[in-house]
């Protein structure tokens, strides 16, 4: 199936559905248990049939895999575990033939400690140009044995590691991910060339990893943050003047990148991964900067009508203040899958929940399912672009009880095994009811799939009208006829209800805990659950959403 995403439409990204493919866990063509690009190519039909406009591929570049591929040792090649550059070219051709755009991840904040630049830095003396591509500093204390500042790694422990000659280098993430020094013109030039490499191959855009962390305040003496920084990966920094998060200087880099993207015809796009405050997020999508930024405030928002309404308003206002439209996202490869989050009591600590293997507090999976289905209709009705994470269209829950010896996230070891990390949302997805890895590939799977995983498979859900998959397929199809943020307006609603229209599409979500009446004679276009009713009008059950054709009342 192809649809109207002709490459001539330069504005395709404004209101689209982008499907995130976590490459290691999407499909494995060669049977080694690890997802690969040929696997993606073979399964792209699923994404097209779902009705998405684009895919975002997480890193598949050469990498020693200290952080699932977000530690890149060669930015211009494909890691052998995922295939070859030719496989990538084929993937691109197939995607474009299906009418799908391809957005690739770019990881500019840090590279791998096995990148040739870092090897050169280690082999060069303090103060050398090779070290200046990174952030090397002398330590504190009489013999320099203390880290240069108190900065903490996002994955636990200090953000500094000492090298044999006594200097320290900075890494916001794992020690195998040294931060690059973006004040160094060589770094800027190298990344511009990397962007062009992929653009010349034909990619349609980039997802910019850690777009808010690329510049640091390195004025001596380095400022301590006096915080543990154990906040979730994409939570905004505390305060407005953090030495390495959300610094104003990052925008100079984004502007330079935008100029490169605009040189192409049609212009290519970029989406920022920026864990910053609601107020600062719009700065990333000013007209001469990146096109979009992930809406993490929406992702983090609890299942609560007042809170959601506030975030939706803030997102719309913020985006409009810079002439943009917001993005909407509920899950990705870094967070507990939203179905499981919604199955837990509000405010539950998901770190502790994972450490209890999903036992404490107990998850009400049926409730999570209902809410996740309703959340899909809510999200897909909002004006702007929706990012879907592979498997959410299958209603996959978090795999909270992965055996400890199977865990691969560096967070697990770096926190002294106090945090299990993100593997539970990265379990390879099921395509078929049975088979060695439920159709993921002809072999096994790099993370164990739970028993019964096949019941979530594409095969098991296809053609079942009440399935998650068919709900998503129907929603994406209907959504196509209701684009444009013209006329987004909240409608009068009851306590605990969200009701709005976008053009002629009316969306109502019941978060009140009790059934609510639907407008009389309303004809649902689509509902996330059974809506009872009779001649007097329908009923919207709790944790259910409905789409109606809006008519003037």
Q: Is 107 in the site for ligand GLC (CB under 6 A)?
A: yes
CB of 27 vs ligand GLC, minimal distance in Å: 20
| Rounded Cα–Cα distance for residues 32 and 550 (Å) | 51
Partnered with residue 527 across adjacent β-strands are 546
DSSP track, 171-232:
-SS-TTSPBB-TTSHHHHHHHHHHHHHHHHHT--EEEETTTTSS----PSSPPP--S---S-
Please answer whether residues 234 and 256 qualify as being in contact, where contact means their C-beta atoms are separated by less than 8 angstroms: no
Please tell me whether residue 367 binds ligand GLC under the rule CB under 6 A.
no
- Residue 165 CB, shortest distance to ligand GLC, in Å, is 27
Instruction: Using alpha carbons, select from 89, 122, 118 the residue that is nearest to residue 104.
Output: 89
Smallest gap from Cβ 187 to ligand GLC, in A, equals 16
Is 209 known to be catalytic? yes
- List binders of ligand GLC among 52-81 (CB under 6 A): 67, 70
Shortest Å distance, C-beta 205 to ligand GLC? 16
For ligand GLC, the binding residues in 467-496 under the rule CB under 6 A are none
| Closer to ligand GLC by Cβ: residue 198 or 438 | 198
Tokens 């079942």 belong to residue: 464
- The minimum distance between CB 408 and ligand GLC, in angstroms, equals 12
Buried b (16+ CB within 10 A) or exposed e, 102-129: bbbbbbbbbbbbbbebbeebbebeeeee
Q: Which is nearer to ligand GLC, 73 or 528 (CB)?
A: 73
- Closest to ligand GLC by CB, 70 or 453: 70
Contact characters 404-443, ligand GLC, x per CB under 6 A: ----------------------------------------
* Among 130, 201, 218, 233, interactor with ligand GLC by CB under 6 A: 233
Q: What is the dihedral of CA 123, 125, 130, 133, to 10 degrees?
A: 110
Q: Which residue is nearest to ligand GLC (CB)?
A: 70
Least distance (Å) from ligand GLC to the CB of residue 426? 9
- Active-site annotation holder among 183, 238, 263, 346: 263
**Closer to ligand GLC by Cβ: residue 233 or 367:** 233
Site string for ligand GLC, 190-209 (x = CB under 6 A): -------------------x
| H-helix or E-strand spanning residue 66 | none
Round to whole Å and give the CA distance between 367 and 345: 10
Q: Which residue from 525, 539, 533, 542 is spatially nearest to 381, judged by alpha carbons?
A: 525
229 binds ligand GLC (CB under 6 A): no
Q: Residue 131 and residue 198: Cα distance in Å, rounded?
A: 27
Q: Using CB under 6 A, which residues numbered 298 to 337 contact ligand GLC? A: 333-334
Is residue 42 part of the annotated active site? The answer reads no
Cβ–Cβ < 8 Å for 398, 369: no
- Within positions 245 to 274, which residues make up the interface with ligand GLC, using CB under 6 A? 273
Q: Which of 95, 122, 210, 407 binds ligand GLC (CB under 6 A)?
A: 210
Report 118-137 residues binding ligand GLC (CB under 6 A): none
At which residue do the structure tokens 């993921």 appear? 440
424 within 8 A of 336, measured Cβ to Cβ = yes
- In terms of CB distance, is 170 or 522 closer to ligand GLC? 170
Q: How far is the CB of 153 from ligand GLC (least distance, A)?
A: 10
For 232, the token pair is 């979730």
Complex with ligand GLC: residue 36 or 334, whichever CB lies closer: 334
Please say whether the beta carbons of 37 and 87 come within 8 A.
yes
Q: For residue 319, what are the contacts with CB-CB under 8 A and spacing of at least 6?
A: 282, 285, 325, 326, 384
Region of 478 please: left (phi>0), alpha (psi -120 to 50) or beta. Answer: alpha
# residues contacting ligand GLC (CB under 6 A): 10
- Minimum CB distance to ligand GLC smaller for 16 or for 109: 109
Euclidean distance between CA atoms 98 and 93, whole angstroms = 9
Closest CB to ligand GLC among 107 and 531?
A: 107
**Smallest separation (angstroms) from ligand GLC to the CB of 412:** 13
From the list 28, 209, 273, 506, the catalytic residue is: 209
Q: Which is nearer to ligand GLC, 334 or 398 (CB)?
A: 334
Tell me which H or E stretch contains 251: helix 250-262
Minimum CB distance to ligand GLC, residue 36 (Å):
19
DSSP letters of 419-442?
---SGGG-SPPP-SSSSTTTTS-S
CB-neighbour burial class of residue 520 (10 A; exposed 0-12, middle 13-18, buried 19+) = exposed
DSSP letter, residue 275: -
Residue 173 touching ligand GLC (CB under 6 A) = yes
How much is the CA Rg of the chain, to the nearest whole Å? 23
Select 173 or 468, whichever has its Cβ closest to ligand GLC.
Answer: 173
Q: Which residues bind ligand GLC (CB under 6 A)?
A: 67, 70, 107, 173, 209-210, 233, 273, 333-334
Catalytic residues: 209, 263
């Amino acid at each position: 199936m192809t649809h109207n995403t002709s490459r001539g439409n330069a504005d395709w990204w404004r209101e689209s559905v982008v499907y995130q493919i976590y490459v290691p866990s999407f499909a494995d063509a060669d049977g080694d248990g690890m997802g690969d690009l040929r696997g993606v190519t073979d399964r792209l039909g699923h994404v097209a049939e779902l009705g998405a406009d684009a895919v975002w591929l997480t890193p598949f570049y050469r990498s020693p895999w200290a952080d699932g591929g977000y530690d890149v040792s060669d930015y211009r090649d494909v890691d052998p575990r995922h295939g070859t550059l030719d496989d990538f070219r084929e993937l691109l051709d197939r995607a474009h033939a299906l009418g799908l755009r391809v957005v690739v991840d770019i990881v500019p904040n840090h590279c791998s400690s096995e990148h040739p630049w870092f090897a050169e830095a280690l082999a060069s003396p303090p103060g050398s140009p090779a070290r200046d591509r990174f952030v090397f500093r002398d330590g504190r204390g009489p013999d320099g044995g203390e880290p240069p500042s108190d900065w903490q790694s996002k994955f636990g422990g200090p953000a500094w590691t000492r090298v044999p000659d006594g200097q320290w280098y900075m890494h916001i993430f794992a020690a195998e991910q040294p931060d690059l020094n973006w004040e160094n013109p060589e770094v800027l030039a190298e990344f511009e060339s990397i962007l062009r490499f992929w653009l010349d191959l034909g990619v349609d855009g980039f997802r910019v990893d850690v777009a808010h962390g690329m510049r640091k305040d390195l004025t001596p003496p380095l400022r301590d943050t006096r915080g543990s920084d154990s906040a979730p990966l994409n939570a905004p920094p505390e305060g407005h003047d953090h030495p390495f998060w959300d610094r104003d200087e990052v925008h100079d880099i984004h502007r330079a990148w935008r100029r490169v993207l605009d040189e192409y015809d049609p212009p290519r796009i970029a989406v920022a991964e920026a864990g910053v405050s609601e107020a600062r997020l719009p700065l990333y999508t000013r007209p001469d900067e990146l096109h979009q930024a992930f809406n993490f405030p929406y992702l983090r928002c609890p299942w609560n009508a007042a809170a959601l309404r506030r975030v939706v308003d803030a997102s719309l206002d913020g985006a409009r203040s810079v002439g943009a439209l917001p993005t909407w996202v509920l899950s990705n490869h870094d967070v507990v899958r939203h179905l499981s989050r919604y199955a837990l009591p509000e405010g539950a600590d998901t770190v502790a929940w994972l450490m209890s293997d999903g036992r404490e507090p107990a998850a009400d999976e049926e409730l999570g399912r209902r809410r996740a289905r309703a959340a899909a209709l809510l999200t897909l009705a909002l004006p702007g672009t929706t990012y879907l994470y592979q498997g959410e269209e299958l209603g996959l829950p978090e795999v909270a009880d992965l055996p400890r010896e199977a865990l691969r996230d560096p967070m697990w070891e770096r926190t002294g095994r106090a945090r299990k990390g993100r593997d539970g949302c990265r379990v390879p997805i099921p395509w078929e009811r049975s088979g060695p890895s439920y159709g993921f590939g002809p072999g096994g799977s790099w993370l164990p799939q739970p028993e019964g995983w096949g019941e979530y498979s594409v095969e098991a859900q296809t053609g079942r009208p009440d399935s998650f998959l068919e709900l998503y397929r129907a929603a994406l199809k209907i959504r196509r006829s209701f684009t444009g943020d013209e006329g987004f307006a909240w409608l009068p609603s009851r306590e605990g209800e969200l009701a709005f229209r976008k053009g002629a599409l009316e969306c109502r979500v019941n978060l009140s805990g009790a059934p609510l009446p639907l407008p009389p004679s309303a004809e649902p276009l689509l509902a996330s659950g059974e809506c009872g009713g009779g001649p007097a009008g329908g009923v919207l059950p709790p944790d259910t959403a409905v789409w109606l054709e809006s008519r003037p009342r």
